[in-house]
Amino acid sequence: MAEIRYDNKVVMVTGAGGEHGKQIALALAKRGAKLVLQDQFMSNGVKDVLTVVKQAEKFGAKAIGHHMELHKGYKTLVKSAIDQFGRIDILIHCEGHLRMWRMDFPDARLWSRVIRDNLNDTLRLNQEVYNVMEKQGSGKIINFTSNFAIDGETAFSVYNTAKLGVHGVTLAVAQMGETKGISANSVAITVQHLRPIKATDVITEDMYEQQSSQLVLYLASDDCKCNGLQFSSRGNHLSLVNWKLENILSVSDSETPESFADKWKISAQNVAKL
């Protein structure tokens, strides 16, 4: 098929200084997008997002960068996109903060910070961008979540809780936007230093970012009609996460704990065979 391009598309990428956000931003720059980038981190005294802006400009892209925390600056980020480019066609929300805190960690204030950075920021930014997209009659949103939220990982219990909620936000946006030209999907990834599979001749380190970035570029394109889906990117394979319900018990209004126990024994055997 013909090359997928983003000429004259205004794309907002959060976490643009990180391993996934940077690769996505630069790939979009090469394909003609106008970029609004955000990140809050620094490397060697230099703001990461400004480094990515300079790299994008080398590909001929128009790009603006914001060094900010999302919970403080999400409204400013959206306003700058409108002031500079007049619209927002695509939001790719990569920003997230991994924290190794279990459910039995005693400091609830730190729990709140994890929920704020990974879930509340997603909700606020999605809402702000959705309002812009609704007025213009079109838009695409891709939210990043975590494979830990799908698989479960005790050391990251609070983080997992927040990231699982990200797909809930995505579903809400997908359902609201379905008749308004707006779509939303999520992509679950595993951050580099916590990947269970070491780099080999089959799975290289670059494949993790490469696979997820190419998937995101497709989801952000006009060719993609996906909506309300969650994908899991794991190096050399990609999965569609299926949250469908399966009926496993036929019940009546006369059930008792004992009858449920008897029926579950039979159903559990059938589930184990799947």
The DSSP code sequence of 71-108 is HHHHHHHHHHHHHHHS---EEEE---------TT-S-H
Range scoring the smallest mean pLDDT among 151-160, 219-228, 229-238: 151-160
36-73 burial, b for 16+ CB within 10 Å, e for fewer? bbbbbeeeeeebbbbbbbeebeeeebbbbbbbbebeeb
> Residue 271: which pLDDT band, with cuts at 50, 70 and 90?
low
What are the tens digits of pLDDT across the range 92-118? Answer: 999 987 766 566 665 777 778 888 999
Q: Please tell me which of 14-18, 61-65, 111-115, 230-234 the model is most confident about, judged by mean pLDDT.
A: 61-65
> Are the C-beta atoms of residues 81 and 128 closer than 8 Å to each other?
no
- What pLDDT does residue 103 have? 63
The pLDDT of residue 159: 85
- Please give the model's pTM, rounded to 2 decimal places: 0.88
Q: Distances in Å between the alpha carbon of 146 and those of 1, 71, 79, 215, 269?
A: 31, 20, 28, 15, 31
Q: What is the pLDDT of residue 65?
A: 97
Q: How far apart are alpha carbons 94 and 90 in whole angstroms?
A: 13
Tens of pLDDT, residues 128-146: 999 999 999 999 999 999 8
Mean residue pLDDT of the chain comes to: 86
Q: For the residues of 128-177, what is the DSSP string, one character each?
A: HHHHHHHHHT-EEEEEEEEHHHHH--GGGHHHHHHHHHHHHHHHHHHHHH
Lowest mean pLDDT, pick from 57-71, 178-192, 228-242: 228-242
pLDDT value at residue 203: 44
